[in-house]
Amino acid sequence: MNRPMLCPQCQNNQVLRSHPQSLREHVMSWVWIAPFHCQYCSHRFLAWSVGREDVAYSRDRREHLRIPVRLCLSFSGGKVRGEGTVLDLSLGGCVIKSDTNVHVNDIFYLEIAVVGNEAPIEVAAMVQSVGARGIAFKFLRKAQENTRLLSFIQSTSGSTPSVFPPVANPIVVASRT
């Protein structure tokens, strides 16, 4: 039976496989020890990865799990104001659909409406890309610092979201801060 991968720092199971970022991580991957990243405490660590299905890993370079949503949002920055719909949300950012003309690297203040009568979740974000899918924003602060956003993502994502299947008997080999 597979047990979920747990972060050695916070013991949370919201862990995703990461791409190697250093020479050490590349070398370790040759012996099936891969880098992982905790979505909630941002701890990065190495763990045994034998038996993992890595097909999704080669295609998906995300650090955070995307959660499909349909939320209303308004945004403003400089002289630009707009409205749109959040299509997906993660701890690192979101993708929205909007007719407003924006440019890469523009910085906006987003207000995401999550529940009818509650105040919107407010975050600062930078435009990462603009394309056919929509406008991709990267949050300027970690979602862990915004308790309402973190709480909403945790409640929406369920108990064990993961891009990769759980690792059987994970062995933590090394960690770095």
Domains and CATH numbers, the chain: 15-63+167-176 (no CATH), 67-157 (2.40.10.220)
In tens, the pLDDT along 47-97 reads 877 654 443 343 345 566 788 899 999 999 988 999 999 999 888 889 999
Instruction: Tell me the pTM.
Output: 0.59
Question: Largest Cα–Cα distance in the chain?
Answer: 56
Residue among 157, 137, 5, 141 nearest 66 (CA): 157
- Is residue 1 scored above 50 in pLDDT? no
**Residue 94: is it exposed, middle or buried by C-beta count within 10 angstroms (0-12/13-18/19+)?**
buried
DSSP 101-167: ---TT-EEEEEEE-STTSPPEEEEEEEEEE-SS-EEEEESS-GGG-HHHHHHHHHHH-S---SSPPP
CA distance 11 to 14: 9
Confidence at 2, pLDDT banded by 50, 70, 90 = low
CA distance 13 to 47: 14
CA distance 91 to 64: 6
In tens, the pLDDT along 151-176 reads 888 787 653 333 333 333 333 334 44
